[in-house]
Amino acid sequence: MTPVLDLVGIFVFALSGALQGVRKRLDVVGIAVLAFFTAVGGGIVRDLFIGVQPAALRDTAYLLVPVVATVIAFFWHPQVERAMPAVLVFDAAGLGLFCAVGTAKALHYGLAPMHAVFLGVCTAVGGGVIRDVLSGEKPTLLYDRELYAVPAMLGSTVMVALHALDVRGFVATLSSAVLAFAFRILAVRFRWRAPLAKGVGKAR
Amino acid sequence: MTPVLDLVGIFVFALSGALQGVRKRLDVVGIAVLAFFTAVGGGIVRDLFIGVQPAALRDTAYLLVPVVATVIAFFWHPQVERAMPAVLVFDAAGLGLFCAVGTAKALHYGLAPMHAVFLGVCTAVGGGVIRDVLSGEKPTLLYDRELYAVPAMLGSTVMVALHALDVRGFVATLSSAVLAFAFRILAVRFRWRAPLAKGVGKAR
Amino acid sequence: MTPVLDLVGIFVFALSGALQGVRKRLDVVGIAVLAFFTAVGGGIVRDLFIGVQPAALRDTAYLLVPVVATVIAFFWHPQVERAMPAVLVFDAAGLGLFCAVGTAKALHYGLAPMHAVFLGVCTAVGGGVIRDVLSGEKPTLLYDRELYAVPAMLGSTVMVALHALDVRGFVATLSSAVLAFAFRILAVRFRWRAPLAKGVGKAR
The per-residue pLDDT for C202 is 59
Check if A145 contacts C (Cβ < 8 Å): yes
d(CA B179, CA B172): 11
The per-residue pLDDT for B2 is 54
d(CA C118, CA C122): 6
Q: Taking 90 as the threshold, does the pLDDT of residue B5 lie above it?
A: no
Q: Taking 80 as the threshold, does the pLDDT of residue A193 lie above it?
A: yes
Q: Which residues of chain C have pLDDT under 70?
A: 1-2, 201-204
3-class SS at C146? strand
Q: Taking 80 as the threshold, does the pLDDT of residue A47 lie above it?
A: yes
Tens digits of residue pLDDT in C14-58 = 999 999 999 999 999 999 999 999 999 999 999 999 999 999 999
Q: How far is B63 from chain C (nearest CA, A)?
A: 8
**Chain A contacts of C57, Cβ < 8 Å?**
49-50, 111, 115, 118-119
The per-residue pLDDT for A14 is 95
Check if C115 contacts B (Cβ < 8 Å): yes
**Chain C contacts of A115, Cβ < 8 Å?**
57-58, 60, 63
Percentage of chain A surpassing pLDDT 90? 83
The per-residue pLDDT for C43 is 96
- Tell me if C197 and B60 make a contact (CB, 8 A cut-off): no
Q: What is the mean pLDDT of residues A66-73?
A: 96
d(CA A36, CA A17): 8
Predicted confidence band of residue B83 (pLDDT cuts 50, 70, 90): confident
**Candidate from A66-70, B31-35, C80-84 with smallest mean pLDDT:** C80-84
The per-residue pLDDT for C1 is 40
Q: What is the mean pLDDT of residues A109-113?
A: 96
Tens digits of residue pLDDT in B127-185 = 999 999 999 889 999 999 999 999 999 999 999 999 999 998 889 999 999 999 999 99
Q: What is the mean pLDDT of residues A163-172?
A: 92
How high is the ipTM of this complex?
0.92
Percentage of chain C surpassing pLDDT 90? 83
The per-residue pLDDT for B81 is 86
> CB-CB: which of B114, B118, B194 is closest to A29?
B194
Mean pLDDT of chain B: 92
- Tell me if B54 and C50 make a contact (CB, 8 A cut-off): no
Predicted confidence band of residue B1 (pLDDT cuts 50, 70, 90): very low
Percentage of chain A surpassing pLDDT 70? 97
For chain C, which residues make up each domain, given as ranges? 4-189
What residue of B is the nearest CA neighbor of A53?
B51
Cα A118 to Cα A129, A180, B86, distances in angstroms = 15, 15, 48
**Chain B contacts of A133, Cβ < 8 Å?**
133
Per this entry, what is the length of chain A? Answer: 204
Q: C58: which DSSP letter? A: T
- Tell me if B29 and C112 make a contact (CB, 8 A cut-off): no
Other C-beta atoms lying within 10 Å of the C-beta of residue C114: 16
Predicted confidence band of residue A201 (pLDDT cuts 50, 70, 90): low
Q: Taking 60 as the threshold, does the pLDDT of residue A2 lie above it?
A: no
Give the DSSP per-residue string, chain A: ---HHHHHHHHHHHHHHHHHHHHTT-BHHHHHHHHHHHHHHHHHHHHHHHTS--GGGT-THHHHHHHHHHHHHHHHHHHHHHTHHHHHHHHHHHHHHHHHHHHHHHHHTT--HHHHHHHHHHHHHHHHHHHHHHTTS--HHHHS-BSSHHHHHHHHHHHHHHHHTT--HHHHHHHHHHHHHHHHHHHHHTT-BPPBPSS--S--
What residue of C is the nearest CA neighbor of B81?
C200
The per-residue pLDDT for A122 is 97
**Candidate from A77-86, A111-120, B104-113, C174-183 with smallest mean pLDDT:** A77-86
Of the candidates A127, A33, A35, the residue with the CA atom closest to the CA atom of residue A73: A35
